[in-house]
Structure 1
Amino acid sequence: MSEKGTISKFIENYYLHFNAAALVDAAKAYEMQLNNGSKMLISLAGAMSTAEIGKIFAEVIRQDKVHIISCTGANLEEDIMNLVAHSHYKRLPNYRDLTPEDEWELLLKGLNRVTDTCIPEDEAFRRLQKHIFAIWKKAEDEGERYFPHEFMYKLLLSGVLEEYYEIDVKNSWMYAAAEANLPIVVPGWEDSTMGNIFASYVLKGDLKASTMKSGIEYMTFLADWYSDNSENGIGFFQIGGGIAGDFPICVVPMLYQDMERTETPFWSYFCQISDSTTSYGSYSGAVPNEKITWGKLGIDTPKFIIESDATIVAPLIFAYLLNM
């Protein structure tokens, strides 16, 4: 095993109790899964791409420490938006003080706010729109259909965006994923800017809805991938909650309950970074043991929950995996 670096040694020495200890335990168990030959799924919810998780997550992909990703449509596209429009983003550290009038002014300037960061509409959304539409249209004209992430891979690998790059491409997790042709599932992709734009073309009659493969097709793809890769176990590392995590985790009970493939193994590891609270009835805040009752995790599955901010926790765990 490679020597651990300064960051890894720091958290081992000082992260000793409560959520800090859970972080270290989860990171070590993740590493053990990889050492035992297990695959790992990482789910990305929230605005992790806009939080620039790509600066470290891209290296996790390159070093083969994740084997499939489930993410929201927003995370799929916002990493690419940051790649091509980074200098046009605006940070608002005083976002808590904004009035409705301040927010309206941001709208008029084409700045769509995500907490303390504004995404520039013209340089991000519209810059991608003309190029991705051409790829969608070409596929349709040739009678081809693809998943949302496959269209994004085509966009990145075509080279048409290179003139717009504003950050080092090695800091784009989507570019790293495209180069590796990493499997991705994007449940609820329609709930994203590019999803909305695609729907607008369908409404105008410029594209057919069937050109984009559906969520059901994502689930059937995931079912086949899980079945083909579970010989040594597949772990589940969930960043945030929501559909990015809820969608893929249920492939296991679907396989052995609905498909009656009784040999299907449970997820071999589970960790969630979450600030959601169980008492509100939120599935995102449910403790891992609740997932046993749904046939997703086994009694002996290593289970971790880190109740903290994913923008703080995830980079530290990734740094540990990368021996930083």
Structure 2
Amino acid sequence: MRTKGAISNFIEKYYLHFNAATLVDAAKAYEEQLSQGSKMLVSLAGAMSTAELGKIFAEMIRKDKVQIISCTGANLEEDIMNLVAHSHYERVPYYRDLTPDDEWGLLERGLNRVTDTCIPEEEAFRRIQEHIVAIWKDAEEKGERYFPHEFMYKLLLSGVLEKHYEIDVKDSWMFAAAEANLPIIVPGWEDSTMGNIFASYVMKGELKASTMKSGIEYMTYLADWYTKNSENGIGFFQIGGGIAGDFPICVVPMLYQDMELTDTPFWSYFCQISDSTTSYGSYSGAVPNEKITWGKLDISTPKFIIESDATIVAPLLFAYVLDM
């Protein structure tokens, strides 16, 4: 019999109503999915890597509590940036009081602000750029093509960044994913910093766009993975909204409507942590039942929406799943 730790016991004792109770219900349903042999997709939107979610998400990966990830290009790269440049980050707890002049001052110092945290351009972006560009060019010279996450796995597993590590590598979810060779979907990677850098090399004629596998190829890659892994169901745990969630969840209606694979199962579990409101057609704020009309979820699919801050909720829910 599994024994729960102090955090889980605290949650069960005090999280009894409203969003708190939904967190507990969603966590227990997450566990039930895994216990019945279902796999789980976790999607990461927002700046969760810069929020250092890797401290607990890496353990979720190591303990096989997540089997596939969908994330923005920013989350893909920012976990590695934190790994190699953590001491150069600056926190700005008074960020709500910043004037345009203050913001310009941060820019001039090479600090890119994400709410209360500033990412150091020189130490973070440029420290990675030198090595990732070499990997891109080496692949192109060999006539090889890879996905964005596969290039990042090559970077991490090559060891070239080890001398730059500034945090314990066990707190990097990308390193844990690379070691596990976990499948990752990165829709819209082109709008990330590394995506912009790659585009600049294409524009300068130093790389071919085709060296990087495309979003369409990501969708077909996901479709193949879903088809091969859905025998016992696949759950969908969504942090935030946007493309990191909308892209992968669409694979189900694509398979059975467009491919006419009518035995394709719906997602077997759905949970979203979001503080978006249901207005103006907002995808991030849409209640789970709306996804029934799009052929993504079944009537009986366990559905949860936790209306709260993911930087608070996700670590607690993951702690519960990990029996902490």
TM-score (norm 1): 1.00
TM alignment of 1:173-192, pairs within 5 A: 173-192=173-192
Alpha-carbon distance in structure 2 between the residues aligned to 1:248 and 1:134: 30
TM alignment of 1:150-299, pairs within 5 A: 150-299=150-299
The unaligned stretches of length 5 or more in structure 1 are none
Q: Deviation above 2 Å: which 4+ runs of structure 1?
A: none
**SS at 2:190 equivalent:** coil
Alpha-carbon distance in structure 1 between the residues aligned to 2:39 and 2:98: 44
Deviations 1:171-205 (A, max 9, x none): 00000000000000000000100000000000000
TM alignment of 1:116-131, pairs within 5 A: 116-131=116-131
The offset of 1:242, in angstroms, is 0.4
Determine if the alignment matches structure 1 residue 7 to structure 2 residue 2. Answer: no
Q: What residue in structure 2 maps to residue 322 of structure 1?
A: 322
The letter of the residue matching 1:238 is: Q
The offset of 1:2, in angstroms, is 1.7
Alpha-carbon distance in structure 2 between the residues aligned to 1:292 and 1:307: 20
**SS at 1:272 equivalent:** strand
Alpha-carbon distance in structure 2 between the residues aligned to 1:182 and 1:108: 38
Alpha-carbon distance in structure 2 between the residues aligned to 1:159 and 1:286: 42
Alpha-carbon distance in structure 1 between the residues aligned to 2:281 and 2:182: 34
Q: What residue in structure 2 maps to residue 63 of structure 1?
A: 63
TM-score (norm 2): 1.00
Alpha-carbon distance in structure 2 between the residues aligned to 1:162 and 1:280: 46
Determine if the alignment matches structure 1 residue 306 to structure 2 residue 306. Answer: yes
The offset of 1:45, in angstroms, is 0.2
Q: What residue in structure 2 maps to residue 33 of structure 1?
A: 33
Alpha-carbon distance in structure 2 between the residues aligned to 1:45 and 1:191: 13
Deviations 1:38-91 (A, max 9, x none): 000000000000000000000000000000000000000000000000000000
Alpha-carbon distance in structure 2 between the residues aligned to 1:279 and 1:109: 38
Alpha-carbon distance in structure 1 between the residues aligned to 2:283 and 2:176: 31
Q: Which moved more, 1:87-96 or 1:275-284?
A: 275-284
The letter of the residue matching 1:80 is: I
Equivalenced residues, count:
324
**SS at 1:281 equivalent:** coil
The letter of the residue matching 1:134 is: A
Q: Which moved more, 1:127-136 or 1:1-10?
A: 1-10
Aligned-pair identity in percent equals 86
Alpha-carbon distance in structure 1 between the residues aligned to 2:113 and 2:205: 31
The offset of 1:281, in angstroms, is 1.7
Alpha-carbon distance in structure 1 between the residues aligned to 2:13 and 2:35: 23
